[in-house]
A and B are shown apart, each in its own frame.
Chain A
Amino acid sequence: MARLNLLLLAALVACAVSLVTSRYQARQLFVELERGQTLARGYDVEYGQLQLEQSTWAMPARIEKIAREQLKMQLPPPGRVHVLGQSPR
């Protein structure tokens, strides 16, 4: 009887210690999760801002201006266009 009680006591102590450690670990992991989520939110915001920046740089008006003024591009006159895959008319 006394031996069984001792065994149970040992098991109880072991359980208690493992509860404490797992609780501690859970908190640690949770803090990490929290940090990760904050980071993810931050990246989300940054992604939105980068998208904005990209569409600002890629504005058709800006591209057209650069193409016409800096690169001196122009639309080819109709006579200089050949359509591939069609018999010449």
Chain B
Amino acid sequence: MTTATLSRPATAPKLPRLRASVLFSMLLALFALLAARSLYLQWFDNRFLQEQGSSRYSRDLEVPAHRGRVLDRFGAPLAISTPVKAIWAWPDKVEATPAQRQALAAALDLEPDALAARLSAGDEFVYLKRSVAPEVAARVAALGIKGVHEDDEYRRYYPDGEVMSHVLGFTGDGDVGQEGIELAQQSWLGGAPGSRRVIINRRGEVVEDVASIRSPREGRDLALSIDSRLQYLAYRELKAAVDVNKAKAGSLVILDTKTGEILALANWPSYNPNNHSRVPRDRMRNRALTDIFEPGSTLKPFTIAAALESGKVQPSTIIDTAPGTLTIGAATIHDAHREGALTVEQVIQKSSNVGAAKIALSLPAEKMWQTLSGSGFGAPPKTGFPGEVSGRLRPAKTWRPIEQATIAYGHGIAVNLVQLARAYTIFATDGEVKPVTLFKEAGPVGGAPVVKPATARAVRRMLELVTLPGGTAPKAQVPGYRVAGKTGTAHKLEAGGYVNKYVSSFVGFAPVSNPRLVVAVMIDEPTGSQYYGGSVAAPVFSSVMGAALRLLGVPTDAPLNQPFLPPQDAVPEET
């Protein structure tokens, strides 16, 4: 201290020491206060200020993500989402002149009264109209009415309408799947909007990307196995057949025998998925997958296949079906037309119940069950469609003889149409059942062997006889192609008993020389003059199969000028 005093210039006035140090410490304390405050603002209580700061230049923007498209096997769009606007308002904040209200109603295509009713809803948020085209929304915005706002949303369009509705289903609010494939594949199709933080300038333009808070995940496209041309064909023919036969409902399935892909799946009644709000649930059911029925005679080929496999019979073995009835315990099985001695081939061709029952009773129940279960009955077909059913096939141990006899001709067992179509792939291939799918496959798919190739070929031959003179379904013939198949006419089961209502069906494949397609047709409760599968379902099979083979360019394997058989040659079949 003394040295400092010495070095000071002599001219400097001498300050009282106490005063200097008080002043010095006061200044120091003030500086310390400022430093503490700035430290506090900078390090401890910085959120509020940072938010205030960033709100002046940065914004969080939503990055929209759209739902993926659903395509058919050739890439034609079946479902597309496109952005639309929702027009909404706070009714008590709307300030509009009567002329403006008039213009708003006109722009939104609403009745002025309806608009007024919505705008008098008080202080609640109301949608004036949703799913409005962007051009319309622009016109509304141009009116400049206070309190009327718009929001972005997506709307899904289905260009094929009712033709494809059961397969696709539809989406609900927020473009989320509610039915069908839209529901089952929600996680694949659905997109998740992202969010990013940007810097804007004073005009509100984005000048810099700061950070991506959440990157958007676009919905992915999904290719179905459906061929939209075949689908239209299937739907058109099915609808016509249901009309002509005054039926309650119907379904039709087309399968590719090489890959197991479902090329078409049509149901009637149908609905328009673009406007589904008032459609009863009943119409939305994909009957081919969610409804079961007793298949009737279309099941006989599986009984015969089981018998051929066991070696108990040959195609030419004689079965005596006289006198056209067979009594087992208290029950009697009837043939509608009496035949005498029939070969196994003729049992299929003429669809004899007694013959099928006799053959079945010569087999162990377990053997029959194995063939049926191996062909996919009693298990869900696993197409990837929500709500598909497994049908009913009871374990062989519980079968009584009468049940074994009725299952032989398709009663006491319940299936859905896709299961039935799939099971026929064992005859269309050399004994393999193919896995069915609604999604596009890259190439041929291997199947699980169910019967020996020789058995499959023998049954295929029998099924071709069904469509030839002396069979139950000459109406199934297709000019230019050899076809094979089996009719079914089953009484419906209601309240525990069989009633005089029918399910008419036909399942078949073509061309027989190298089968490409399986077509299964089911008509529920035909009430016209005909109810036999050979007269109701077989013509649908014929027209769909013929047109489908032509469309796919499948080479012919029979003469084109082959004359159509007169229908009276058809053998009426069992029910």
Question: A30 and B160: CB pair below 8 A?
Answer: no
| A to B CB contacts below 8 Å, 26 in the list | A26-B208, A30-B206, A30-B207, A30-B208, A30-B209, A31-B206, A34-B206, A45-B83, A48-B81, A51-B77, A52-B82, A52-B157, A52-B159, A55-B76, A55-B160, A60-B228, A60-B233, A61-B232, A78-B479, A78-B480, A78-B561, A79-B560, A79-B561, A83-B556, A86-B555, A89-B559
Partner of B80, one of A27, A52, A59, A83: A52
Residues of A near B556 (CB, < 8 A) are: 83, 86
Residues of B near A31 (CB, < 8 A) are: 205-207
B503 nearest CB across to chain A (Å): 28
Which residues of chain B from 232 to 264 have any CB-CB distance to chain A below 8 Å in the complex? 232-233, 236
Instruction: Answer yes or no: A81 CB below 8 A from chain B CBs.
Output: yes
Question: A60 and B229: CB pair below 8 A?
Answer: yes
Quick one: CB contact mask for A45-89 with B, threshold 8 Å, 1 for yes?
100110110011001110000000000000000110111001001
B261 nearest CB across to chain A (Å): 20
Question: A55 and B159: CB pair below 8 A?
Answer: yes
A51 nearest CB across to chain B (Å): 5
Binding site for B on A (CB under 8 A): 26-27, 30-31, 34, 45, 48-49, 51-52, 55-56, 59-61, 78-79, 81-83, 86, 89
5 closest Cβ contacts across the A-B interface?
Answer: A78-B479, A55-B159, A60-B232, A89-B559, A78-B560
Question: B207 and A49: CB pair below 8 A?
Answer: no
Main secondary structure of the interface of A (DSSP, over half): helix
Residues of A near B81 (CB, < 8 A) are: 48
Decide yes or no: A56 and B159 within 8 Å by CB, A51-B80, A86-B555 being known contacts.
yes
Residues of A near B206 (CB, < 8 A) are: 30-31, 34
Residues of A near B233 (CB, < 8 A) are: 60
Residues of A near B208 (CB, < 8 A) are: 26-27, 30
Residues of A near B80 (CB, < 8 A) are: 48, 51-52
Residues of A near B479 (CB, < 8 A) are: 78
Which residues of chain B from 46 to 80 have any CB-CB distance to chain A below 8 Å in the complex? 66, 69, 76-77, 80
Q: What class of interface size applies to chain B in its complex with A?
A: 20 to 34
Residues of A near B66 (CB, < 8 A) are: 48
Residues of B near A81 (CB, < 8 A) are: 480, 560
B133 nearest CB across to chain A (Å): 9
B479 nearest CB across to chain A (Å): 4
A10 nearest CB across to chain B (Å): 30
Give A25 to B82 CA distance when docked, in angstroms: 35
B262 nearest CB across to chain A (Å): 18
Give A26 to B206 CA distance when docked, in angstroms: 12
Residues of B near A45 (CB, < 8 A) are: 82-83
Quick one: CB contact mask for B450-481 with A, threshold 8 Å, 1 for yes?
00000000000000000000000000000110
A8 nearest CB across to chain B (Å): 31
Quick one: CB contact mask for B80-99 with A, threshold 8 Å, 1 for yes?
11110000000000000000
Give A51 to B160 CA distance when docked, in angstroms: 12
A27 nearest CB across to chain B (Å): 5
Question: A52 and B77: CB pair below 8 A?
Answer: yes
User: Which chain B residue shows the least CB distance to A44?
Assistant: B66
Residues of A near B207 (CB, < 8 A) are: 27, 30-31
Residues of B near A83 (CB, < 8 A) are: 480, 555-556, 560
Residues of B near A26 (CB, < 8 A) are: 208
Give A59 to B157 CA distance when docked, in angstroms: 14
Residues of B near A56 (CB, < 8 A) are: 159
Give A12 to B155 CA distance when docked, in angstroms: 57
Give A78 to B228 CA distance when docked, in angstroms: 25
User: Which chain A residue shows the least CB distance to B564?
Assistant: A78
User: Which of A49, A51, A60, A86 has the most chain B CB atoms inside 10 A of its CB?
Assistant: A60
User: Which chain A residue shows the least CB distance to B559?
Assistant: A89
Residues of A near B229 (CB, < 8 A) are: 60
8 additional A-B pairs beyond A31-B205, A52-B159, beta carbons within 8 Å, are A48-B81, A52-B77, A55-B159, A59-B232, A79-B561, A81-B560, A83-B555, A86-B556
A61 nearest CB across to chain B (Å): 7
Residues of B near A61 (CB, < 8 A) are: 163, 232, 236
User: Which chain B residue shows the least CB distance to A38?
Assistant: B206
Give A18 to B159 CA distance when docked, in angstroms: 56
Residues of A near B157 (CB, < 8 A) are: 52
Give A61 to B76 CA distance when docked, in angstroms: 15
User: Which chain A residue shows the least CB distance to B230?
Assistant: A60
